């Protein structure tokens, strides 16, 4: 018997065109890094490698994944709760910048760098107190936050850095990552202007040189019928904003994750059963949120299309269950009511044996999922060429 379809399909050629188009219009003095936590698949990293200026990682595991595809590519090392062994490895493996998230982390880093006698560059991650940051469903700053340091701690951090004992840890600038999934280029630009004002103020107040301003990620992808972030429009706004002149000799880093990869991976799962309970229909898939947790994580419906198949008739001699012109909930194979990918989808025809293909499954999908909950087999991972032939075979 054939295994029911359950697969992640990667369109690497389309990803390549997308990253190329993004980088083609990137202004001078700006750099594009990929935050690999969105999707650390080695083939994705290899596809992006020739185009991006580097990768952003937040653990040694992620650093290892980057070093597996390249020994030289610049790396930004961020994330809260860095352990001393992580700081040590970051220094030994030669990351370009460490994003320091707290005063304790800074003190530990100074100690570790002195012990190893290795120099390093750092950016201080700041949690701004402005209420003017755009609001999205994941906001990490402008409110109490475990990420970065409050604005009024910057002075103390700079004092620690200026201590005569510290000869290895070099302050280079500031890092901000205040939100995720912002779909509005205009508000993104306003946020960056706010960052610029703040940095200019701190440069004056604390009399420090700033050579890098990292404005984080957070470029949004739409999972409904609204448009996703418009990178081209954003770059046009950015060029008109005067930021490039204000940067002087400094560089500005972008480090998006989601927007780079979301559109180029599909999650395909075969419909195993159709149930009607009270007044509702349920499509039960070979797969679910243990492979693709994003819709459950955000409590949203995930966009999909249906690939109809015709081999049912060859296999069974009883009637094939299906619905027509009706609403249906699309759920997974887990014994959990949270295992839901779409709550009320309108479908023309959906029959058992059809394949539901979830689009925009490239970011925070597989990588954030609880793969082994209930112990079902993992999906297969296919990359464009392999996937075409499998699909044609049925
Ligand atoms: C997650 C993360 C990113 C990427 O965020 P996206 O919303 O995927 O663009 C960038 N920087 C930091 C520090 C992050 O934690």
State the Cα–Cα distance between residues 366 and 294, nearest whole angstrom.
9
Whether residue 214 is found in the same domain as residue 105: yes
Q: What total number of domains does the chain contain?
A: 2
Mean pLDDT computed over every residue of the chain: 94
Q: Which residue, chain included where needed, has tokens 């999909």?
A: 304
Helices (H), 39-179: 42-48, 60-69, 84-92, 103-116, 154-161
Is residue 78 one of the residues assigned to a domain?
yes
Whether residue 121 is found in the same domain as residue 224: yes
Whether residue 268 is found in the same domain as residue 340: yes
State the Cα–Cα distance between residues 160 and 263, nearest whole angstrom.
43
- Measured at the CA of 265, the angle between CA 260 and CA 266, to 5 degrees, comes to 145
Q: What pLDDT was estimated at residue 138?
A: 61
Summarize the chain as % helix, strand, coil (round to 5): 35, 25, 40
Is residue 180 one of the residues assigned to a domain?
yes
The H or E element spanning position 200 is helix 185-206
Is residue 291 one of the residues assigned to a domain?
yes
Q: Is the CB of 360 under 6 A from ligand 1?
A: no
Instruction: Compute, in angstroms, the gap from residue 19 CA to the centroid of ligand 1.
Output: 17
Find residue 273's DSSP bridge partners: 284
Q: Compute and round to an integer the Cα radius of gyration of the chain.
A: 24
Residue 67, both tokens? 């070093």
Q: Is the CB of 198 under 6 A from ligand 1?
A: no
Domain stops at, among 203, 238, 256: 256
Is residue 138 one of the residues assigned to a domain?
yes
Pocket test for ligand 1, best of 19, 40, 56, 264 (most atoms within 8 A of CB): 56
Q: What pLDDT was estimated at residue 135?
A: 63
Query: Do 165 and 110 meet the contact criterion of CB atoms below 8 Å apart?
Result: yes
The pLDDT tens digits for 151-202 are: 999 999 999 999 989 999 999 999 999 889 999 999 999 999 999 999 999 9
- The CATH number assigned to the domain holding 372 equals 2.40.37.10
Q: Is the CB of 219 under 6 A from ligand 1?
A: yes
31 is catalytic: no
Whether residue 312 is found in the same domain as residue 344: yes
Query: What residues in the chain have per-residue pLDDT under 50?
Result: 394
Q: What pLDDT was estimated at residue 394?
A: 46
Domain stops at, among 256, 272, 295: 256
Query: Do 245 and 200 meet the contact criterion of CB atoms below 8 Å apart?
Result: no
Whether residue 210 is found in the same domain as residue 320: no
State the Cα–Cα distance between residues 134 and 126, nearest whole angstrom.
16
Which ligand 1 atom sits nearest the alpha carbon of residue 175? 13
- The CATH number assigned to the domain holding 90 equals 3.20.20.10
Whether residue 109 is found in the same domain as residue 224: yes
Q: What pLDDT was estimated at residue 143?
A: 75
DSSP per-residue string spanning 292-317? --HHHHHT-PPPEEEE----HHHH-S
Is residue 39 one of the residues assigned to a domain?
no
Q: Is the CB of 32 under 6 A from ligand 1?
A: no
Q: Which domain holds residue 282?
A: 263-393
Whether residue 276 is found in the same domain as residue 249: no
Q: Is the CB of 35 under 6 A from ligand 1?
A: yes
Looking at residue 321, the DSSP 8-state letter turns out to be P
Q: Which residue, chain included where needed, has tokens 């970011």?
A: 363
Whether residue 225 is found in the same domain as residue 280: no
Pairing mode, if any, of strands 265-277 and 54-57?
unpaired
Is residue 45 one of the residues assigned to a domain?
no
Instruction: Compute, in angstroms, the gap from residue 216 CA to the centroid of ligand 1.
Output: 6
Whether residue 290 is found in the same domain as residue 179: no
- Measured at the CA of 362, the angle between CA 358 and CA 368, to 5 degrees, comes to 100
- Selecting among 335, 337, 372, 393, the annotated active-site residue is 335
Q: Whose CA is nearest to atom 3 of ligand 1?
A: 217
Q: What pLDDT was estimated at residue 314?
A: 74
Query: Do 157 and 143 meet the contact criterion of CB atoms below 8 Å apart?
Result: no
Domain stops at, among 231, 256, 281: 256
State the Cα–Cα distance between residues 28 and 98, nearest whole angstrom.
23
Instruction: Compute, in angstroms, the gap from residue 387 CA to the centroid of ligand 1.
Output: 29
């Amino acid at each position: 018997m054939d295994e029911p379809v359950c697969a992640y399909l990667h369109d690497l050629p389309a990803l390549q065109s997308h990253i190329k188009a993004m980088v083609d219009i990137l202004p001078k003095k700006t750099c594009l890094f990929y935050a690999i936590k969105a999707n650390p698949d080695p083939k994705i990293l290899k596809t992006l490698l020739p185009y991006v200026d580097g990768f952003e990682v937040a653990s040694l595991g992620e650093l290892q994944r980057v070093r597996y595809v390249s020994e030289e590519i610049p790396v930004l090392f961020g994330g809260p709760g860095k352990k001393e062994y992580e700081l040590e490895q970051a220094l030994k493996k030669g990351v370009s910048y460490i994003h320091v998230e707290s005063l304790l982390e800074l003190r530990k880093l100074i100690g570790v760098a002195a012990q190893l006698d290795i120099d390093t560059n750092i950016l201080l991650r700041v949690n701004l107190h402005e209420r003017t940051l755009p609001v999205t469903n994941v906001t990490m700053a402008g409110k109490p936050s475990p990420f970065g340091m409050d604005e009024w701690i910057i002075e103390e951090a700079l004092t620690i850095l200026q201590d005569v004992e510290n000869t290895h840890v070099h302050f280079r600038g500031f890092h901000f990552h205040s939100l995720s999934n912002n779909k509005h280029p205009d508000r993104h630009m306003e946020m960056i202007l706010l960052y610029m004002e703040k940095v200019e103020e701190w440069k004056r107040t604390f009399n420090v040189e700033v050579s890098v301003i990292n404005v984080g990620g957070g470029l949004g992808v739409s999972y409904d019928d609204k448009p996703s972030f418009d990178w081209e429009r954003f770059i046009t706004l950015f060029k008109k904003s005067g930021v490039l002149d204000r940067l002087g000799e400094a560089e500005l880093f972008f480090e998006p994750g989601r927007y780079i990869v979301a559109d180029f991976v599909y999650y395909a799962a075969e419909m195993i059963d159709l149930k009607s309970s009270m007044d509702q229909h349920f499509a039960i898939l070979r797969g679910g949120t243990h492979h693709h947790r994003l819709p459950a994580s955000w409590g949203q419906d995930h966009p999909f299309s249906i690939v109809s198949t015709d081999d049912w008739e060859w296999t069974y001699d009883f009637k094939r269950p299906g619905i027509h012109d009706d609403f249906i909930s699309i759920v997974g194979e887990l014994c959990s009511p949270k295992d839901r990918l779409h709550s009320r989808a309108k479908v023309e025809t959906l029959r058992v044996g059809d394949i539901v293909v979830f689009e925009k499954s490239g970011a925070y999908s597989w990588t954030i999922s609880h793969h082994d909950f209930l112990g079902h087999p993992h999906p297969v991972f296919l990359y464009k060429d392999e996937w075409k032939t499998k699909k044609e075979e049925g």
